[in-house]
Structure 1
Amino acid sequence: MQTSQRGMDLIKEFEGRELEAYPDPGTGGDPWTIGYGHTGSDVYPGLTITQEKAEQLLSEDLKYFEKGILGCISVPLNQNQFDALVSFAYNLGVGALAESTLARLLNEGNYQAAADQFERWVNAGDEPMPGLVSRRHVEKELFLST
């Protein structure tokens, strides 16, 4: 499976687009981020990119997350469920998803209980972060839609 345009638009909406590298808000440094939430050793202070490059990085990053979803989820998914999981993993990491109760419940075939887990992943530190609350709500709704 591949992320649909709807899934890409969701990621773009919540990640935002920055054409100049910026530090992690929590650390003031690593990981540096650019484009639509792209991080890695290729991102460093002072780096600037074009809109075209931001789109290219997103496309390349999505391949990694798509492969990760297919590697840790063993039940059938519709396109909306897949897109919601890619957005979730894009934000939190494939490892976090793979080790989560959400993935365990989903792999047991309990789609509703898995969907209810999205809303548990909203904290930054010990406090709910409004942007994450909104993102998880949208991801859950997408996951449950047909």
Structure 2
Amino acid sequence: MDMTDRGLLALVRHEGRVPGPYLDVKNIWTFGIGHTAAAGPPDPARMSRGMTADLDAGVREAFRLFRANIVAYEAEVLRAVNVPVEPHEFDALVSFHYNTGGIANASLIRLSKRREQWRRQCVIQ
């Protein structure tokens, strides 16, 4: 399952687009569309400071990283979620995970797994 175009656009709008490294509101080095070191290389803390002279190249790199990050986050959400979800629900789960990195430990996931176990027990009996 992939995020919908609407979900991707909402996430981009929420994150913003900055073609250079910056400190976010939690004092974490970030680049592009919410890319942090937690998502993998490159580490924004080690990037050259300031805006690139070629802003188009900076924007292209921001979107390239975003696309790569989203693929990884979608896969992690799919591994964590063991119940069917609607496309808009999947969008919300990926957005949550993109911002927190905590999908595997989220209460929602634990509760959905308990519900699925309960449902299976009812079907077996």
If the TM-score is normalised by the length of the shorter chain, which range does it land in?
Answer: 0.7 to 0.9
Mapped to 2, the partners of 1:24 and 1:54 lie a distance apart of 15
Please give the alpha-carbon distance, in whole angstroms, between the structure 2 residues aligned to 1:108 and 1:25. 35
1:109 deviates by: 4.2
Q: Quick check: 2:32–2:62 contact (8 Å CA) kept in 1?
A: yes
- In structure 2, stretches of 5+ residues that fail to align are 117-125
| Pair member with larger Rg | 2
Residue 24 of structure 1: CA displacement?
A: 3.5
Which of 10, 25, 36 pairs up with 1:39? 36
> What secondary structure sits across from 1:50 in the alignment?
helix
TM-score normalised by the chain length of structure 2: 0.74
Shift of 1:89: 0.4
Percent identity of equivalent pairs: 33
- In the alignment, what sits opposite 1:100? 106
TM-score, length-normalised on structure 1?
Answer: 0.64
Q: Which amino acid aligns with 1:46?
A: R
Match in the other structure for 1:132: none
Does 2:82 correspond to 1:74?
yes
The one-letter code sitting in structure 2 at the alignment partner of 1:66 is E
- Rounded to whole Å, the distance in 1 between the matches of 2:14 and 2:24 is 16
1:21 aligns with 2:21: yes
Q: RMSD of the TM alignment (CA)?
A: 1.9
Partners of 1:66 and 1:86 within 8 A in 2: yes
Amino acid at match of 2:33: Y
Distance 2:83 2:23 in 1: 37
Would you tell me which structure has more helix in proportion to its own residues? Answer: 2
1:1-146 alignment runs, 5 A limit: 1-27=1-27, 31-40=28-37, 41-42=41-42, 43=44, 44-46=47-49, 48=52, 50-93=58-101, 96-109=102-115
Provide structure 1 residue ranges, at least 5 long, that are not aligned to the other structure: 111-146
